[in-house]
Structure 1
């Protein structure tokens, strides 16, 4: 049982997405809350992840639009990229949002304790010599950029995403080790800003966690943009050279550049934080929880990147809110991990929710799964934007839609409806009956559902 005599109702270790969402919701529900953070509140997403990377990607989009302005009948001259100005723009966005989050802590009357926290008991966290007690403890210590045993990150030639966000110039030739979300997003941004880019990925395809059709479309688009990639090849050697880096692939082929981004995922930031010593069950550094984010230690919860699953800020938000409501006795429904939307913000963007087609066939049986892929060539707004891609829906025969997958410029803005379709267990015919605004990319979801329901409008088989 948790300690009823503890000082705060909730003490949270970590001020990232999961931590501060839990803090705000708990405060709204009338609880006393303290949050411990050794750096800035807002976490990786705000300061070193989601926000600055998307600002960098948008700067790249502006550069591409300027280069291609003639396609739209607009006369424009592209003179290059000033990374100092790009960084100023990026940092300004982060700074503004950081001030907003700080204001929310004050508005919710959440006490922020700055310092390095360590779990010392089921109800206690030590912060730089001070013991903070709580009836409930929430572990939300976030994640870090992983490297590989044979690569030394020096911040100059071999870099992580944190270093990449603060480069003072665009690399002439960048090598990206890892073809997951982080790797392909930086590859896309750097290419738009003028770099030559080459990706090395050990798995058979880029963004291998996504639907196979989404991977193929992204790879096709990357080839068209001049982004090179090697898939199904784990490198044999990575070394610094006199003026850059060299990666040796199987068979002796080498790839050279002036910088190498190591983008092989993020690890849970749990080492040395006292979790195991207090008895919290762990697996390879991750904290194990039940469906309500409770650990095996009574009164101790966990949220965000340290909990096994997709490492996304909005997942952290949802988990933090869930924990606060569970502590308050509101009995929130467990979070369906498959119902969390996913976006890769490349050019073109890749968005999805639910099961990909292979997963659905494995779960329900190949003969029970139907799918329809609608090319964006059939969508007027996509033609206006000059983007290629598709909307794909996966459904169970005589059952609901269990997966929505999309590729295209700005297509991420449409994943919200995909989330509703999946989480509300809508059938293709249900979605087909809805009226989708014309001309929009959102209309493509309606068209795909109509085709899946057997009544296509602007397409034919």
Structure 2
């Protein structure tokens, strides 16, 4: 197996393939681990954790702990963040080396359906897996540079900006807005769609907006960006409603695009659509023995999706006939304060599928959860079910709720009925109990909530 790209999808395919006795060439122009480990999920979550600690220090007196907030030392924050990344990278390198995977450093290009060329050297494989990942997108005519940055530059800032305009209210924009506000910056988010985190259930979006208003994070939704002018002291951002916002920096967080250009895909007949590689449900491209995984395949651009797809493709190539991955069963988490987590379909999607009368929902307010009270967080768990049928969506908001989505994923993927899961015992006092309470309410026997 020749794998082009060693991010979450590529290295997972390599490790699982090696485990199954395949000989592997793993080609990577940068470092094994890809965007997620080096420039994405891991470093951003390290910043978010330091932001959480900053907020806790500010509020510590209300918990009877005398501490004073002296500010943020970005040099120390970056040392901590880079230390986390470094340790994980070292561990991953050890795994890849122990699995006797050939890592080839350099820019790979598909030159035939069974061959990837790296700096003039061809690597031929019975199977080829395309896993070239994604890049930070911009908008047409919007130049990134100077005081206009992407998430990659935002991760290496050596100071806390006084003020920032965040262009895009999706996951990346919301997470950075959350960090910078905790660090003491003045933040304004501009989002063209009607809500923040627009792909989530509307109830979550509205609750996050309420929480952000309380945190004094400014945002303009349903507002289109029209231009930015760089000045000596910062940026002047204008929107189509004729307003302008001035700030020290502008973060462009308008999503990620598939990294597929100049890699020989189209020349070798790989089916493409808007830059993405088109595959069947078994991740095969329809050309030779060429498969594709991760952010280049249309769908959720999440590290854990790429990881699972990498494992799937290795097992498929080894003849294990794995079950196809169900996209709606992949959990999604936004690690802002508060966190947003979900799995399955939204209430609106469920109504589209089953009709307005074919859907039942319940919301359990975290105000009734002991552990949430102790953590001083607000929010809710919302369950969506097909009427008289299984749970098809689990949606939640509140501090640390990302840790609860694993159980929700099991309910959705195993098509659990509320009666089945309402019988499960949840430890007290945990936020996890909120899942149990929501299930009880959906099963028609609410204890601490009213249906």
State the TM bucket, normalised to the shorter chain. over 0.9
- The structure 2 residue matched to 1:312, chosen from 287, 302, 306, is 302
- The structure 1 residue matched to 2:102, chosen from 81, 102, 111, is 111
After TM superposition, the score normalised by the length of structure 1 is: 0.97
Distance in 2 of aligned mates of 1:252 and 1:305 = 35
Q: Quote how far apart the aligned CAs of 1:251 are.
A: 3.1
Distance in 2 of aligned mates of 1:292 and 1:251 = 46
Alignment partner, residue 19 of structure 1:
10
Alignment of 1:71-90 (within 5 A): 71-90=62-81
Aligned residues: 451
Alignment of 1:330-409 (within 5 A): 330-409=320-399
Alignment partner, residue 4 of structure 1:
none
- The structure 2 residue matched to 1:152, chosen from 139, 143, 167, is 143
Check if 1:253 corresponds to 2:243: yes
Q: Quote how far apart the aligned CAs of 1:364 are.
A: 1.1
Alignment of 1:26-425 (within 5 A): 26-154=17-145, 156-425=146-415
Deviation string, structure 1 residues 191-239 (Cα, Å, up to 9, x no partner):
0111110000000000000000000110000000010000001022211
Deviation string, structure 1 residues 23-59 (Cα, Å, up to 9, x no partner):
0000000110010000000000000000000000001
Distance in 1 of aligned mates of 2:100 and 2:182 = 43
Question: Which runs of at least 4 in structure 1 moved beyond 4 Å after TM superposition?
Answer: none
> What is the SS of the residue equivalent to 1:206?
coil
Question: Is residue 422–residue 436 contact of structure 2 (8 Å, CA) maintained in 1?
Answer: yes
> What is the SS of the residue equivalent to 2:173?
helix
Question: Is residue 353–residue 415 contact of structure 1 (8 Å, CA) maintained in 2?
Answer: yes
Alignment partner, residue 444 of structure 2:
454
Q: Quote how far apart the aligned CAs of 1:460 are.
A: 2.1
> What is the SS of the residue equivalent to 2:363?
strand
Deviation string, structure 1 residues 284-329 (Cα, Å, up to 9, x no partner):
1000001110002020000000000000000011000000000011
Structure 1 gap segments, 5+ residues each: 1-9
Question: Is residue 178–residue 201 contact of structure 1 (8 Å, CA) maintained in 2?
Answer: yes
- The structure 2 residue matched to 1:433, chosen from 408, 423, 428, is 423
> What is the SS of the residue equivalent to 2:127?
strand
After TM superposition, the score normalised by the length of structure 2 is: 0.99
Distance in 1 of aligned mates of 2:358 and 2:12 = 39
Deviation string, structure 1 residues 153-179 (Cα, Å, up to 9, x no partner):
11x300000000000000100100000
Deviation string, structure 1 residues 353-375 (Cα, Å, up to 9, x no partner):
00000001001111000000011
Distance in 2 of aligned mates of 1:126 and 1:238 = 41
Q: Quote how far apart the aligned CAs of 1:74 are.
A: 0.7
> What is the SS of the residue equivalent to 1:460?
coil
Taking only aligned residues, the RMSD between alpha carbons, in angstroms, comes to 0.6
Deviation string, structure 1 residues 371-395 (Cα, Å, up to 9, x no partner):
0001100100000000010000000
Distance in 1 of aligned mates of 2:338 and 2:223 = 24
> What is the SS of the residue equivalent to 1:251?
coil
Distance in 2 of aligned mates of 1:71 and 1:280 = 60
> What is the SS of the residue equivalent to 2:384?
strand
Question: Is residue 150–residue 238 contact of structure 1 (8 Å, CA) maintained in 2?
Answer: no
> What is the SS of the residue equivalent to 2:225?
coil
Q: Quote how far apart the aligned CAs of 1:458 are.
A: 1.0
Question: Is residue 223–residue 241 contact of structure 2 (8 Å, CA) maintained in 1?
Answer: no
Distance in 2 of aligned mates of 1:262 and 1:294 = 33
Distance in 1 of aligned mates of 2:321 and 2:406 = 25
Distance in 1 of aligned mates of 2:95 and 2:168 = 36
